[in-house]
Amino acid sequence: MRGKFYGNKAITIDSGGRVKLPSRYLKIIEKDFYGEELVIAYRKSEGIGYLVIIPERKWLEALEKINEMDDKSPVEKERLRRILNRNSDFVTLDKQGRFVIPKRLSEMAEVESGDDAYLIGNGNFIELWKASRFDEYEEKGMVDDELIAGIFN
């Protein structure tokens, strides 16, 4: 599958608040997204905040899907776009494949310089979790092993 991010990598946020993407993710960004800018956005799952990194094209496609939501009123669609855009920012990779986490988003996701973190490929985007927050998320209950086994059988 073209343009899909998979796998995971344990990292440490460097002293400048930068994240270095693994080479396998950089190759996808370069090959399938022509090195375009990335969008970083705050999200929550089960009440625990984390960040997503997504190629600009995929971000714009996601925003366009809001317009196609027939079950939402124009006001609801506008509110959703506003929230998504307020909790996101553009980031540019440097020559070493690093980007700086914007301060506001860093504070929202509680990730800062020196923190251990996980980069997790999740199809169209990459998740960035503070390691302790992801561990907390896992403790809340992951997908049942039997359900996972059923997917591969």
- In a domain, residue 79? The reply is no
Quick check: is 99 in a domain?
yes
Report if residue 68 sits inside a domain. no
Instruction: Using alpha carbons, select from 43, 125, 57, 37 the residue that is nearest to residue 88.
Output: 43
**Mean pLDDT value across the chain:** 89
38 located within any domain = yes
CB 21 within 8 A of CB 117: no
The pLDDT confidence band at residue 106, using thresholds 50, 70 and 90, is: very high
pLDDT, tens digit, 9 for 90 and up, residues 37-53: 899 999 998 889 999 99
CATH of the domain at 142: 3.40.1550.20
Number of domains in the chain: 1
Look up the domain containing 109 and give its range.
8-56+89-152
The whole-angstrom separation of Cα 28 and Cα 25 is 5
Assigned domain for 31 exists: yes
**Contact of 39 with 22, CB cutoff 8 Å:** no
Residue 112 domain flag:
yes
Confidence of residue 32 (pLDDT cuts 50, 70, 90): confident
* Residues 56-105 pLDDT 10s: 988 999 999 998 999 999 999 999 999 989 999 999 999 999 999 999 99
